[in-house]
């Protein structure tokens, strides 16, 4: 089966087996656009993490995907915008982890441990890793307040989990803010030293680090 025939069949399938047409539906175009945008973001974030933001050009990102630079602009805009979008995704993943954990049963300490493990795992993945590897000062000044607001949400979520654990007696905490910075720092640092493919899996690293950190606030 030729590539064209296969695409054509897939399209026909998407159209709920109604009359086959060589034209894609609005929905198919949207799915296609989203998947291309995702591919650009993943290629960009990996280069930003590896070489640093300033040493990466959109030409490099385009070349790594075998496409042209104007296509990147078409999907995402200028390099500042691409970086912000990568960091927004990274922060969104951390935010989702906090929201998910907040709904779970158990003691405050149980929820805190779950969040910290998930936090570390996120940081060892591409997008949240980029949040940590890139200093706020690199972002364009007009984007910075929005980025800091998103980051502050994660910090507040972590502080709330720590405060809740202290409140139900499952943790003993002197200073919630300083404890949050201690935990966030220890786990965020994986963005600087963790190399994928090392002897320990991210889940094992997360588990061991969270064990050391939370033993430090056991009652």
Binding residues for a second copy, per CB under 8 A?
A: 50-52, 54-55, 133, 135, 137-138, 174-175, 178-179, 181-190, 192-193, 200, 205, 208-209, 211-218
Residue 147 or 183 with smaller CB distance to a second copy: 183
CB of 96 to a second copy, least distance (A): 22
Query: How far is CA 161 from its chain centroid?
Result: 20
CB of 140 to a second copy, least distance (A): 11
Residue 73 or 189 with smaller CB distance to a second copy: 189
Which residues are CB-neighbours of 192 under 8 A, at least 6 positions away? 132, 133
CB of 101 to a second copy, least distance (A): 21
CB of 178 to a second copy, least distance (A): 5
Residue 89 or 209 with smaller CB distance to a second copy: 209
Instruction: Decide if 58 contacts 79 (C-beta within 8 A).
Output: yes
Query: How far is CA 76 from its chain centroid?
Result: 17
Q: Is 156 left (phi over 0), alpha (psi -120 to 50) or beta?
A: alpha
CA distances to 5, 114, 145, 196 from 93, rounded to whole Å, are 38, 14, 19, 19
Residue 12 or 110 with smaller CB distance to a second copy: 110
* 16 secondary structure, DSSP code: T
Residue 29 or 51 with smaller CB distance to a second copy: 51
CB of 28 to a second copy, least distance (A): 40
């Amino acid at each position: 089966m030729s590539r064209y025939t296969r695409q054509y069949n897939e399209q026909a399938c998407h159209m709920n087996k109604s009359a086959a047409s060589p034209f894609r539906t609005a929905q198919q175009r949207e799915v296609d656009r989203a998947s291309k945008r995702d591919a650009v973001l993943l290629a960009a974030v990996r280069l930003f993490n590896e070489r640093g933001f300033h040493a990466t050009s959109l030409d490099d990102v385009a070349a790594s995907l075998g496409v042209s630079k104007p296509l990147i602009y078409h999907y995402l805009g200028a390099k500042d915008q691409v970086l912000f979008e990568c960091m927004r995704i990274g922060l969104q993943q951390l935010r989702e982890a906090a929201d998910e954990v907040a709904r779970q049963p158990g003691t405050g300490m149980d929820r805190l441990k779950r969040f910290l493990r998930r936090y570390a795992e996120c940081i060892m993945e591409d997008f949240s890793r980029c949040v940590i590897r890139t200093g706020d000062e690199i972002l364009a000044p007009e984007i910075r307040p929005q980025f800091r607001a998103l980051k502050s949400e994660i910090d507040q979520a972590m502080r709330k989990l720590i405060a809740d654990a202290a409140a139900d007696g499952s943790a003993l905490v002197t200073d919630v803010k300083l404890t949050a910075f201690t935990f966030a720092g220890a786990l965020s640092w994986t963005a600087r030293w963790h190399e994928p493919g090392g002897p320990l899996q991210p889940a094992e690293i997360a588990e061991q680090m969270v064990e050391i950190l939370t033993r430090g606030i056991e009652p």
